[in-house]
Amino acid sequence: MAKQDRAVRTREAVLVAAGEAFADNGFLGTSMADILERAGVTKGALYFHFASKEELAFALIEEEELRAGQMVNEFLERDLPPLQTLIAMVNRWAQIIQTDPVVRAGVRLIVEQGTYNRPMPGPYGQWDTRVAELLERAAEQGDLRKGVDSKAAAEFIVAAFTGIQLVSQISSAHQDLQERLQVMWELLLGGLLAEGRSVVFVPGGAL
């Protein structure tokens, strides 16, 4: 049991180290030697868990998607209006990107998939689906402006957030992500909200 626990801790240490390296330098700018130095584990331990840099990248993307799914489910369980849930959820995800190197790396690696030998298909599908569901619920409750296509709007919101976080990564290492996100919502909500309806922007999604 102790050996198994140690293996789990080693794998987690490697993932965190790889997350920091990929988040800082991207896929092409990171080597296994960089990760090994950051992780503080033996070369044998590193390659026991991950045979290649690409395998590590996919593990980080999978972990990022797992954490995203868990976070989304937590927000969907709250008793909040759908549009308020959407804004709080996306804002919370932005905060996680700012503070969690594993998530930050996964997000960056998804954008950089063209550098891999095996690109992952449909990396934003989970987000498109959940955002569309929230918009459909908002429409049913009269909060969404009539005529808004939930699916198209969801895809646009996900694409807009992806672009904003990428620009924030390049310009400030995600330090200004919440400010950019507030501007995004201010611009988008005018086209989403039904007349007379309103929502509250809370940085970090702390509702």
Please say if the pLDDT value at position 24 is more than 60: yes
| 44-90 pLDDT tens trace | 999 999 999 999 999 999 999 999 999 999 998 888 899 999 999 99
| 107-160 pLDDT tens trace | 999 988 766 666 665 678 889 999 999 999 999 999 999 999 999 999 999 999
pLDDT, mean of residues 2-31: 89
Distances from the Cα of 101 to the Cαs of 9, 26, 67, in angstroms?
A: 17, 12, 12
Say what angle helices 82-99 and 53-76 make with each other, to 10 degrees.
Answer: 150
The predicted pLDDT at position 6 comes to: 81
**pTM for the whole structure:** 0.88
The predicted pLDDT at position 3 comes to: 65
Tokens of 70: 């868990």
The predicted pLDDT at position 207 comes to: 47
The residue assigned the tokens 């959940």 is: 130
